Amino acid sequence: MAKRRKPKAKPRAPTRRPVLVARHRATPWASEALDLDRCERFLLHEARLLDEGKFDDWLALFTPDAWYWVPSEPDQDNPHDTVSLIYDDRRLLETRVRRLASPRIYSQEPRSRTSRIVSNVSIEDSGNNACTVRSKYLMIEYRRDSQRLFAGTAFHRLVQADGAIFIASKRVNLVNCDAPLDGIVVPF
C-alpha cells in the first residue's frame, strides 16, 4: 500500500501588527539592529500600553537611570534652568505609576480614556545598540464629558540591553507647552 504525502504548509505572510513585549523578556526581534521599522514598532507598542492603562508594563520599558521630560517652554534646552511640566527620573516615574494604579487618585475619577497616534518616525542618530528616535505625537484624552488634545514632537533615546529595547530618555515637546494647562496626570 502506498503512503500518502502530506500537503506542504503554505508560508505565512509577514504581518505589520506590533509585537507585544512582555516585561523583562527579550523581544522577538532581539538579534536585529535598531532600524526604523523596529523603532516604530516599539513606539507603537509603548503608545498601546499607555492607551490600555498598562502603566506597570510601560514603566518596565525604561532603564534604571532613565528620565522623562516635558518642557514648559518652546526650545527649552535643559530641565534645570526653569520649571518643567514634567521632569521625572526613574524613581519619580515609579511614584507616578503607583499613583495612577491607586483606586483613590482623585484627579482620575473617572479615569481618562486616551487614544494616541504616533507618526513621522525618523532616526536622528544611532550608534552601538542605541539610537535617538524622533516622532510626531497626538494624544486625545477624554474625561468628564470633555476632550483635550495634546500634540507635539517626541524624542526617545532607545537602547538595547539583554536582548530587549528600553527607553533611556523620553522628551515630549508639546506644541502648546507654554499655554495654561489643567492638571496633567496621564503620561504622554
Mind listing the pLDDT tens digit for each residue in 97-154?
988 887 777 666 677 899 999 999 999 998 888 999 999 999 999 988 889 999 999 9
- Give the containing element (helix H, strand E) for 98: helix 90-101
Residues 6 or more apart whose CB falls under 8 angstroms from that of 86 comprise: 68, 69, 70, 184, 187
Q: Rounded to an integer, what distance in angstroms lies between the CA atom of residue 163 and that of residue 32? A: 9
Mind listing the pLDDT tens digit for each residue in 41-72?
999 999 999 999 999 999 999 999 999 999 99
pTM of the predicted protein model = 0.79
Please choose, from the candidates 67, 105, 101, 73, the residue with its C-alpha nearest in 3D space to the C-alpha of residue 87.
67
β-partners of residue 160 are 165
Q: Do residues 181 and 71 lie in contact, with contact meaning Cβ atoms separated by under 8 Å? A: no
pLDDT for 26 equals 41
CA end-to-end span of the chain: 67
Torsion of CA 61, 63, 67, 68, to 10 degrees: 0
